[in-house]
Every structure is written in C-alpha cells, then in structure tokens.
Structure 1
Amino acid sequence: MHPLVRQFRDRAAANVDPAFWAYVTRGMDAGVSVGEAQSAWQHYRFSPRVLRDVSTVDTRASIFGDFASPIGVAPTAFHRLAHTDGEVATATGASAAGVPLCLSSRSTCRIETVAAEVNGPWWLQIYVTKERAVTEAMVRRSVAAGATALVLTADTPYVGHRDIVGSGRPIQLDDDLALVNMGEHLSPEQFADPWAHVDQDPSIDLDAIAWLHDISGLPVIVKGVLRADDSNRFVDAGAAGIWVSNHGGRQLDRAVSTADVLPAVVAEVGDAVPVVVDGGVRDGYDVLTALALGASAVFVGRPAIWALVADGAHGVETVMTALCDELRHLMGLAGVTDLAQVRSAGLIAH
C-alpha cells in the first residue's frame, strides 16, 4: 500500500462517522472477496527491461477522453457523508490531478454541479432503474453536462445485504440527499415510495447496452465483468468498453478477484474494445501490474474516499497525483516509457 494511501486511510478512520466507515470498508457477508483483492495483485512478478532510455516517461492515457494518467477515480456513492462538499470536492481533486472521474448515479450532489468542476472529460456510472424514465432523464442530463461515456453497472440486480436496517438501505440516509438527482424525475405519488422506482431493475439484459447508447449517443462501458465469455457477449451487443470489477467485494462474496480474471478477459476481448479494472488497487505496483496485464485504465475507489474524508478536494488531488508519480517511477525501473510499451513489453513473468 502506498504510504500516502495508508496515511489517508488512518486519518479517515479516526474522523468519519463509524457507520459510514463500515459502509465504505466492509464487503459482503464474510468479506472474503475484500480480503483477497489486494493480495491478488501481489501474486504477479515483473520481468523488467534494462539498458533502455527511460529519461522521459509518459503516463498520458486516451480512453473516452484524454487524461494525464490512466489511474481514475471509480464511482462510489454518497460522498457528502464523507465530506461536506461531497462529489464536488472529488471532481475538483480528480480534475486537478488530470485523472479520469466516473461519477456515481448515487451522487449526493447534482450532476450539473459536479460537472462544472471538471476541467475535461468525465464518465457517468448508471443503473437501469425500475422506472426507466428516471435513468433516461439522468442520462440526458449527463450528456448535456458534458459526459463522454456511460458506465453501466451490471453486477447489481439487487443490493448486497450489508447491515440492512429497516428500509433495506445499507446506511441511514435522508431521501433528500440520496435522491438529489433521481428524485426530481419522480411524480409525487412515486416519491411516496421512491426506492420502489429508483432501485436497480433486476430484469435488464443485453438490450440495456443498445438502449443507453441510443438515448445518449455515448459509448457504453459495461462494469462488473468477471468472465471472459461474458465480455464477448457484451461487445457483440454494442459495449464500447469492458470494466472488470467485483464491486469492491460488496455484492457476491467469494467472487473471483479482478487481478485473477483480468488476463482472461483481455485475451478474450483482444483489441476490440478497451478493458479497465478496479478492485484492491492500493499503489503504483498494482497499477503497473494491471496495465502490464492489458488494462487500458485502472480505477481506485476506497483510496479516493479515504483521501476525501481526510482532506477534501486537496486530498483527492494529492493521492491521485502520488499514485501517478509512483507509476511513472516504476515504469522507468521496468524499462518502459509509455503505456503502449507497458502493455506490449511482456513485463509479467510467466
């Protein structure tokens, strides 16, 4: 774990509401998938190249937008429980670091307000809700606000049961905050029982990919992929990208670690679409491993939240910049000077 990530984690643990801390850090049931996520990256070993000019190392990435780094901020919900400025602070920090931002549709700040803080491209994570008009309205708003891609979360037909209390939500949260984006698209009658309309629709299938593309005109990345054969199905159905993720270990416990399945997904997809990954990434070594295994971008969730709790927008900028700086240093040590070389140099020992 990068020392700065550890520092922010420890500061966050001491300064955030215990219920929210448990919501962020815990996984599903016994937490097997959460426990395995970090160590899975450490199973790989590098075969570095030497006697190559690495005086200049370029970490710039182009994936549904141009970024200074391939290390992005993954979509996570309810940032105003972590910091008073919520997703606005997260977006400000990510933009200052020049990294990809994927905004959660469960944001506690309005889409338009967050987008105004981003100096560059950004993506929207979206669920297909039971009331399709809610999803469609949010997608159209995100397009108008400048989103460059949609990320369809496909691994959450139902919310994993983590300390469910009363209404079935994982933490107690006022609807005015939780529904700051979705609520305006509900009728007064629907708002009497809003989650019956804005929870994920468990009946969606491959048609959701084309539907989202049709109403937005944007590329659709499918998130939550853990099988190589699934990845090809999604590409055939129109997916513009594949996101290897097990939802931070927060859905189906004992699901395979993303580090273990990434090579098979990349091999199956080939050059058809970019593959991105998250899950247990805590330092530049993990990022370099993922890139060497074929990922086009690598996203972090909990480290960004920890930094947000500890130091707001400045914390997010600081931790994302530190991870990029470490990646740049490690690329030089591995004998590669840009991301294309990382993916083609055969850095992973077999």
Structure 2
Amino acid sequence: MFDSRRIHSIEGLRQAAQRRLPKAIFDFFDGGAEDELTLADNRSAFGRVKLAPRCLVNVAEVGLDTDIVGGRSALPLVVAPTGAVGFGRHGGDVDIARAAVEAGVPYTLSTSATASIEQIADAASGRLWFQAYILKDKELLSSLIFRAKSAGYEALMITVDLPVGGKRERDFRNHLSFPFRYTSRNLLDFASRPVWAMRMLRYGVPVMENLKGLEAPSASTTKLASSVGRSYDPSFDWDSLKSLRDEWPHKLIVKGVMRADDAARLAAMGCDGIVVSNHGGRQLDGAAATLDILPGVVSAVEGRVPVLVDGGVRRGVDILKARALGAQGVLAGRATLWGAVADGQRGAAQALAILRDELQRSMQLCGVRSVDEISRELLFERQEPDGAEYGLGGRVPVPGL
C-alpha cells in the first residue's frame, strides 16, 4: 500500500513506482541507451557542481516564481514530455498535466503520450506546450500541429535529437515493444504485478492517442523492441525547421540541442526557446551530460533566447545549480512520471511539491531571496596556489600569471 507520508524524495517515488510496475515497464521508463553512460553522467554532473553559499542574508521569505519562455511560472521548472505514461498508470498523462497546472508550471505533452492533445486541453487549463517528433508521415505531423494550435497550446516544442531511435537494450532483454507483443518472458513479468495487470485487464491496453493509425505492428519482436524512433524522419534538417518556424504562429522551442554553434544558429533563426537535452540518456550513449554543455550554449546565444536544460533533475538544488549556470529553468520528466505511477495526480503533485520545497530550502541556505538572484556567483571555483582557477571547465590559467 502506497503511503505518501513515507516518501520524502523523488528517489522515494521512483522506488514506489518500481514496486508497482513489471520489470519491463519500469525499465522502459528508467533506462537509457546501450551502456547507459550518458544516463548516469546526467545525474553525476549535478554532483560535480559545488556551491559557495552566502551568509547573513534575510531569507525569511523567498520568491520562487520567474519568467519561463515569455510567461510566468511558479517555479523555474517545466514538466517535460514523457511518452507512454499510461502503461505505468491509466490516465497518468492527465494526472501529470493537472498537477502541473495546479502547481503553476508549464506542462509539455509528448507526441507519444497515451492521452490526446484535446483530452489534455480539456482536462488542464493552464500553460500547455506540445512536443512534436518529426514523423515520416508529414500529413499526420501537420495534423498534430494544427490540432495543438486549435486546442490553444501556447508553444510547439520540436525534438531534434531523434533522427533514429536509440538502442535500448533493457527493452530487448525484456521483450518490450509498443504496441505490446506478448511473449512467455514478458507475460510472466506482467503477471508478477497483479494490481498492474488487473488494471490492464479492466481498462485495456493504453494507446498512443496522437499516433493512432501511424503504422501496422511488425511481425518481429526484435524489430518492435526498443521501437521508439522507427517512424521518425532522419532527413529533417535546418530548412525543414525553418519552414515550421514560418508556419507556427506561436512560441517555438527546440529541444535536443547539444552544441553552442547550433544554439547560435537557432537563436538567429528566431526560435523562442532552446532546451539543452540528450533525451535523458535514451538515444546517443556517450553524449556529454547536459549540465556540462549548458554554459557553452548560454554563452553562444548571448541572451537572445532563453535556454532550458533537462536530464538528471532529481533535487530542488539541481534546479538552483542549473539556474546558476545560466539556464532560465529546467525540464523534469521522470520525477512527475514516478509520482503519477505511484499515486496518480496526488503522486505527481507530490513530486512537484518535493522539488519546490527543496528548491526553497536550498535558496535559503544559499542566501538568495528570489530566483532572479541565483547567479554564477553562488558556484564554488577552487583557487590554486599558482593563480589558476579550477572552475567548471577544469584548470584555467589566469592571464598574466
């Protein structure tokens, strides 16, 4: 039985979700590509950033609200797009969207969600963003974008780091595919979680509502396993993105940027936001941690466009560190996903409340009274005897010494 009073961290929600889910489903949400080096490094990067807190500052009251891509948000946080949530808990997409709206932060709906564009718009009246994968089926892609515009979504988020799907070896080992293809291995796994299995029998296997009719299931389990990305267009390029920029009348955010030169070009194109992202370590294994990439991207855009970052956000202090490195805010996906899987809307709300409390506490302990006061001055950079500094990028000689 889930007891929210015993959960005090995002990791606690993750463990609660793990107890509820079959291994194959948990691994799909939790895992990354190949050896999962990038998955682990995203998290480790936050540990490499150290803080130098101020003291003797009146922090009896601190302000957590801030501007995120042209609108106010109660936290410097956006709920990231997460696909296939309904396979963890029926109605999970709506649960997360409602929790985000109640918390006063933007919510991003994934193309591969198990709720439709219209279902989310009807259920959650707030700042809604739609994340679009670039499909080979251009007619379907245009239809999705038109539907998002008609439903009042304020921003379109284009994911550009998925020309092909990553190699998710956990999915291969677990015989997991979307649509489901049952095998002796995964049937035993599913049966090991009877509460989850009974809900599947009662409510039916979820459908990726926005991708209905995209393609017929493959006859091969091997081809279906780790199937994310098989319908996406590897030919999508800068000219294609510019066409979308010209057609979409509202905010356009580009997610999946990992190079300073690409970020500068996007800023010049007139994009409204950039998300430094390696897809949560789920695509190219060996890609750098997003927090390590962030300062270079921030420098390259020179303030012309807000920069967000995702990957590995599990603590409120992570949000503070990202902000200190120049991000306007973070995207967090697995945090609210684990909450929703564990306890529906209440669990998703609890995830956001945990991050909010930890961020507020970290700000107070660092001597900052508002999100806008968070700056690079809070970061610890060790001075060496020869006058060099050990900063975030390693040993840097001091000019003239």
Question: What TM-score do the two structures reach when normalised by structure 1?
Answer: 0.90
SS at match of 2:78: strand
The alpha-carbon deviation at position 174 of structure 1 amounts to 5.3
Q: Distance in 2 between matches of 1:323 and 1:192?
A: 39
User: What is the CA deviation profile of residues 20-40 of structure 1, one whole-angstrom value per residue up to 9, with x for unaligned ones?
Assistant: 111111110011111212111
Q: Does 1:28 align with 2:33?
A: yes
Aligned residues with identical type, % of pairs? 36
The alpha-carbon deviation at position 218 of structure 1 amounts to 1.6
Q: Distance in 1 between matches of 2:208 and 2:89?
A: 17
SS at match of 2:377: coil
Preserved contact between residue 336 and residue 342 of structure 1 (Cα < 8 Å): yes
Q: Distance in 2 between matches of 1:262 and 1:69?
A: 19
The alpha-carbon deviation at position 126 of structure 1 amounts to 0.6
Candidates 249, 254, 263, aligned match of 2:286 = 254
Candidates 339, 342, 357, aligned match of 1:310 = 342
User: Where do 1:211-230 residues align within 5 Å?
Assistant: 211-230=243-262
Distance 1:126-1:349 versus aligned 2 partners, 3 A rule: same
Q: Distance in 1 between matches of 2:52 and 2:41?
A: 24
Preserved contact between residue 138 and residue 182 of structure 1 (Cα < 8 Å): no
Q: Which residue is 1:11 aligned to? A: 16
Choose 1 or 2 for highest CA Rg. Answer: 2
Distance 1:334-1:131 versus aligned 2 partners, 3 A rule: same
The alpha-carbon deviation at position 179 of structure 1 amounts to 4.1
The alpha-carbon deviation at position 163 of structure 1 amounts to 3.9
Q: Distance in 2 between matches of 1:99 and 1:8?
A: 20
Preserved contact between residue 313 and residue 332 of structure 2 (Cα < 8 Å): yes
User: Where do 1:97-246 residues align within 5 Å?
Assistant: 97-163=103-169, 171-173=177-179, 177-183=206-212, 199-246=231-278
Q: Distance in 2 between matches of 1:228 and 1:146?
A: 32
The alpha-carbon deviation at position 198 of structure 1 amounts to 8.2
Q: What residue ranges of structure 2 are gaps of 5+ in the alignment?
A: 1-6, 182-204, 219-226, 382-401
Q: Which residue is 2:47 aligned to? A: 42
Q: Does 1:332 align with 2:364?
A: yes
Question: What TM-score do the two structures reach when normalised by structure 2?
Answer: 0.79
Q: Which residue is 2:379 aligned to? A: 348
Q: Which moved more, 1:61-70 or 1:280-289?
A: 61-70
Preserved contact between residue 162 and residue 170 of structure 1 (Cα < 8 Å): no
Preserved contact between residue 284 and residue 327 of structure 1 (Cα < 8 Å): yes
Q: Which residue is 2:91 aligned to? A: 85
Q: Distance in 1 between matches of 2:15 and 2:299?
A: 38
Preserved contact between residue 225 and residue 242 of structure 1 (Cα < 8 Å): yes
